[in-house]
Amino acid sequence: MFGFLKNHHNNNELLSVSDGKIVNLSDVNDPVFNTGIMGIGYGIVPTDGTVYAPVSGKISMIADTKHGLGITSHDDLEILVHMGIDTVELKGKPFDILVKIGDEVEAGQKIALMNLDDIKKSGKDITTMVVITNSSDKGLSVSVKSGQRSNGELAATIKL
């Protein structure tokens, strides 16, 4: 409803990439993410399959299997949006990427669609992870705002 507010994004915030329940990465059912190997961030159990950019920046990576994409923020944070757990095995079928590498995106901009029903029917977890993959290089931490969120709402605050 107030989409114009989403363009005024604070650089130390990660916005919710979907409607759903925000959880700490340590609560995600995947050791690659819950141990912090990939970096810091948050997970979300989405109630809607539309995925929005958590930060403003440039699309730097799109997985061949469409289950993940990278955004380089304007302050050089590498953000990975990983849609579902073990969804690489689905070979892109439940995903539609709406951006391409090199595109500039605004925080809160629609970037992908995922078919939650198809992911669930395949036996995969729909939890989506938003991870700062270069957080250890920059000495960052995050404070996750757990609970129900709508896309574009504050999901985590980045701390130096």
CA atoms within 13 A on the CB side of 47: 9
Give the C-alpha separation, 79 to 73, whole Å. Answer: 7
pTM of structure: 0.92
pLDDT at 144 over 60: yes
Burial of residue 147 (number of CB atoms within 10 Å: 0-12, 13-18, 19+): exposed
User: In this structure, what token pair is assigned to residue 96?
Assistant: 């539609």
Work out the average pLDDT over 4-28. Answer: 81
Residues 6+ apart with CB under 8 A from 159: 12, 140, 141, 142, 143
- CATH number assigned to the domain covering 3-144: 2.70.70.10
DSSP state of 120: H
State percent of the chain over pLDDT 90.
Answer: 88
The catalytic residue among 8, 9, 74, 82 is: 82
Judged by phi (left if over 0) then psi (alpha if -120 to 50, else beta), residue 91 lies in left
Domain boundaries, the chain: 3-144
In what helix (H) or strand (E) does residue 116 lie, and over which residues does it extend? helix 116-121
Nearest alpha carbon to residue 21 among 41, 1, 54, 48: 48
67 is catalytic: no
Give the C-alpha separation, 78 to 134, whole Å. Answer: 6
Give the C-alpha separation, 149 to 153, whole Å. Answer: 6
Find the Cα–Cα–Cα–Cα dihedral 80, 82, 85, 91, rounded to 10°.
Answer: -120
Question: Which pLDDT band holds residue 138 (cuts at 50, 70, 90)?
Answer: confident
